[in-house]
Amino acid sequence: MENMGAFQFRGVQLDLARQMETLDFIYEFIDFIGKSGYNTLVLYLEGRIKTKSFPYPVAGEYYTPEEMKAVVSYASKKNIDVIPVVSVLGHAELFLKHKEMKHLAEIRGDAKSTLEETINHVFCPSLPETFDFIKNYLSEIAAIFPSKYFHVGCDEVWDFGCCSICRDRIHNGESHGDIFAKYITDMHGFIKNELGKDMIVWDDLFECYPNALAKIPNDVILCCWNYDRRVDLPKAHFKSRLEEDLLAKYEKLGFKYIFAPSTFLVANIESFTTYSSKYSPLGGLLTVWEKSLNFMYEVMPLVHYAGRLWSGKDINFNDAIKDVFGCGDNIFFDALRSNYEIKATHPTRLSPLSYLAGPITEFEAIIKSSSETNSDIFSLFLERCINDNARNMLEDILVSLEWKKIMFKLRTVVEELYSFDEKCPDIARRKYITSEMAEMIDRYLKKKLDQWKRFRKGISSAGIEKTFTEFRNKVLELAETSAKAAGVLKVKFFLPDMYNAQKCKFTIVFEDGSTEIAAEGIFKNYEMNDAYFIYKFPYYTTRQPVSVRIESWLYGGLGIAYLEIISRKSCFYPVSICNVKGNVQSIQHILVNDLRFCYLGETDMNALLQMPELTKRKHGLTLVLGERQEE
Ligand SMILES: [Zn+2]
């Protein structure tokens, strides 16, 4: 990357809401980022600090104001400003999980979640009581953090406008965007006038409600997040995004803004930095999220790289990596870079049946071989690291690669369990391959817990133990349940917007009129890299299937290219279509096993956001099946 001078604001975020870190680690992290050129630490907190106005968190799930004051004071000695993030609209789960707070939730009384969510995570923006609570709590938090900035979150809020008060406002002519703009404006007034600070918000809701941007004061600082490899291509945060020069728009409207890549991909950091350098942002904020099943160490080399990049140092990736590890050659640098070129498959892929997805794709095969090679290279360098910290990072990367190995193994094992051809395993083999997998998961958990003891001493590891133990047990159970399966429904999906939330349900109808729901939920490509992907759903009724009913609803729409049923005895494929309901396009494509697809649902996400009642509309069709004749 070419030298573009230092940004004024150079921040990195720690997500302490989803996973607490020890105070010792936070101090160590401050030392680390100070040396990397950062001048700002952003603490993503939600309700992690227990105060007089929010006394409900129990032991082990909060920091005290005194602890946070000590962090602020330590950081200030290293010239690092600490900014708190308390999300004041959505992502309020840490507040709203307490029964004493539930009266402030948007989903209360007769209100129904638009997204069919089962947990409460949005404050009602129309209740004066919400504002009273936020004012009290933010005043207490602001007293801990002397920074001139306060970040109020407000990303990913789609579940408002549901309660009776909000509904009345909409009935009387306000739009969702108006309600959002009014809330932001009121919050800004409080933060500016009463707390004397500049307010920062995430910018993604303005993509959903573009008119709201002109209605809020333009001294709100917009935090523009985008985690794509190429930030200049249209993808989406939630709705289908326009290809838009966002930062040019913000400048034109007179806003100050910060660009925010994440540690998921090195290319995201680089392309976002290059794009932003054409404009005049306050600076960059590197967001790190969700480390409840992982540790910070694996991404710290990237944290260092971004910090050096934004400090105006004439630096490339290899130099930054050499700084961190004190060793390395081109093979090592290239391996580390390729490790950060692949977005980590979401670590919560903890349902064994999610590994049932047809043949290994080319993309998976590439990740598999690069993971194996990288693992070997990193192992060689483990002993050459300059200090314990660097060794922790490399070791943490190696443990993450271990998890990838488990996932690849599961892809073949679960496929074998649900194969009904000559590969179909007997019960002894089923028990053998599942217990072998369980042992792999046990060994992995043991490594994680060993790391946990060293990195998160004093913080409960019950969550990670529960998660992996449950996963392991589910894998073991597959030996029995897979043997009972009558067949699988194989669906070839086509999903152009991978950020949408379209639900679908597949019901198989049998010759005697009985039915079985083979699948219901939101299905996406786990690799997030291709619109076309396959799922297989086991079913257990042993009668002959005669048709499949597909229903689809919620946010976005969904393409289905083809489906078929593979049973122990035979194969069934669609021969005709009936009972078409709602918005279904290119219906005939579903009868042909090729890449063309039938589309169920709304095509206009803007319309859905303005009229959420449309999300309840069901789109569906029934496929009559024929039996494939063996040749
Ligand atoms: Zn409301």
| Cα(555) to centroid(ligand 1), Å | 20
Of 216, 249, 268, the one marking the end of a domain is 216
Residue 235's pLDDT band, with cuts at 50, 70 and 90, is low
CA–CA–CA angle 365, 437, 419 (5° rounding): 65
The partner residues of 42 in beta bridges, in order of sequence, read 13, 83
| Cα(212) to centroid(ligand 1), Å | 18
Calculate the average pLDDT of the chain. Answer: 94
103 and 189: one domain? Answer: yes
Tell whether the model's pLDDT for residue 605 goes beyond 90: no
| Cα(164) to centroid(ligand 1), Å | 7
Can you tell me the distance from the alpha carbon of 195 to that of 145, in angstroms, rounded to the nearest whole number? 11
| Cα(609) to centroid(ligand 1), Å | 16
* Any domain includes 290: no
553 and 580: one domain? Answer: yes
| Cα(135) to centroid(ligand 1), Å | 18
* Any domain includes 288: no
75 and 171: one domain? Answer: yes
494 and 622: one domain? Answer: yes
Q: Which residues of 96-120 are buried (b: 16+ CB within 10 A; e: fewer)?
A: bbeeebeebbbbbeebebbbeeeeb
Q: Which residues of 230-255 are buried (b: 16+ CB within 10 A; e: fewer)?
A: ebeeebbbbbbbeeeebbeebeeeeb
| Cα(206) to centroid(ligand 1), Å | 19
Can you tell me the distance from the alpha carbon of 262 to that of 363, in angstroms, rounded to the nearest whole number? 22
Tell whether the model's pLDDT for residue 268 goes beyond 90: yes
| Cα(123) to centroid(ligand 1), Å | 8
Range 296-318 average pLDDT = 93
Structure tokens at 329: 């050659």
* Any domain includes 326: no
Q: Which residues of 435-468 are buried (b: 16+ CB within 10 A; e: fewer)?
A: eebbebbeebbeebeebbeebbeebeeeebeebb
Instruction: Give residues whose Cβ lies within 5 Å of ion ligand 1.
Output: 106, 124, 126, 163, 166
| Cα(157) to centroid(ligand 1), Å | 12
| Cα(607) to centroid(ligand 1), Å | 21
* Any domain includes 248: no
| Cα(163) to centroid(ligand 1), Å | 4
| Cα(215) to centroid(ligand 1), Å | 20
Of 434, 467, 484, the one marking the end of a domain is 484
| Cα(161) to centroid(ligand 1), Å | 6
| Cα(196) to centroid(ligand 1), Å | 28
Range 170-193 average pLDDT = 97
Can you tell me the distance from the alpha carbon of 612 to that of 342, in angstroms, rounded to the nearest whole number? 35
* Any domain includes 210: yes
Range 164-183 average pLDDT = 96
Tell whether the model's pLDDT for residue 236 goes beyond 90: no
Please state the domain count of the chain: 3
What does the chain come to in residues? Answer: 631
Structure tokens at 193: 């006038």
505 and 386: one domain? Answer: no
- Of 494, 1, 496, nearest to 234 (Cα)? 496
Structure tokens at 269: 């950091």
460 and 347: one domain? Answer: yes
Of 418, 450, 484, the one marking the end of a domain is 484
CATH (domain of 546): 2.60.60
Q: Which domain range does residue 473 map to?
A: 338-484
- Secondary structure of 319-365 in HEC code, one letter for each residue: HHHHHHHCCCCHHHHHHHHHHHHCCCCCCCCCCHHHHCCCCCCHHHH
Range 307-335 average pLDDT = 93
Can you tell me the distance from the alpha carbon of 416 to that of 429, in angstroms, rounded to the nearest whole number? 10
CB 160 within 8 Å of CB 89: yes
Instruction: Quote the crossing angle between the two packed helices 23-36 and 65-77, to the nearest 10°.
Output: 20
200 and 58: one domain? Answer: yes
Tell whether the model's pLDDT for residue 240 goes beyond 90: no
* Any domain includes 299: no
| Cα(167) to centroid(ligand 1), Å | 7
Cα 85 to the center of its chain, rounded Å: 18
pLDDT of residue 296: 97
Structure tokens at 579: 């009972």
| Cα(171) to centroid(ligand 1), Å | 13
Query: What long-range pairs does 440-448 form, CB within 8 A, spacing at least 24?
Result: 440/405, 440/406, 440/409, 441/406, 441/468, 441/471, 441/472, 441/475, 442/472, 444/399, 444/402, 444/403, 444/406, 444/468, 445/469, 445/472, 447/399, 447/402, 448/293, 448/399
| Cα(162) to centroid(ligand 1), Å | 6
| Cα(508) to centroid(ligand 1), Å | 39
432 and 528: one domain? Answer: no
Instruction: Report the C-alpha dihedral over residues 378, 383, 389, 392, rounded to 10 degrees.
Output: 50
Residue the block writes with tokens 């985690």: 227
Residue the block writes with tokens 């603490």: 43
CB 598 within 8 Å of CB 589: yes
Asked which of 83-97, 339-353, 373-387, 405-419 is least confident by mean pLDDT, the reply is 339-353
| Cα(141) to centroid(ligand 1), Å | 25
pLDDT of residue 228: 87
531 and 472: one domain? Answer: no
| Cα(202) to centroid(ligand 1), Å | 21
pLDDT of residue 431: 98
457 and 518: one domain? Answer: no
| Cα(220) to centroid(ligand 1), Å | 23
| Cα(105) to centroid(ligand 1), Å | 8
Q: Give the rounded percent of residues in the chain with a pLDDT score beyond 70.
A: 97
83 and 102: one domain? Answer: yes
Tell whether the model's pLDDT for residue 129 goes beyond 60: yes
| Cα(551) to centroid(ligand 1), Å | 30
| 108, containing H or E segment | none
502 and 478: one domain? Answer: no
* Any domain includes 600: yes
CA atoms within 13 A on the CB side of 530: 11
- Of 270, 256, 313, nearest to 9 (Cα)? 256
- φ/ψ of 569, rounded to 5, equals -100, -30
Residue 347's pLDDT band, with cuts at 50, 70 and 90, is low
* Any domain includes 617: yes
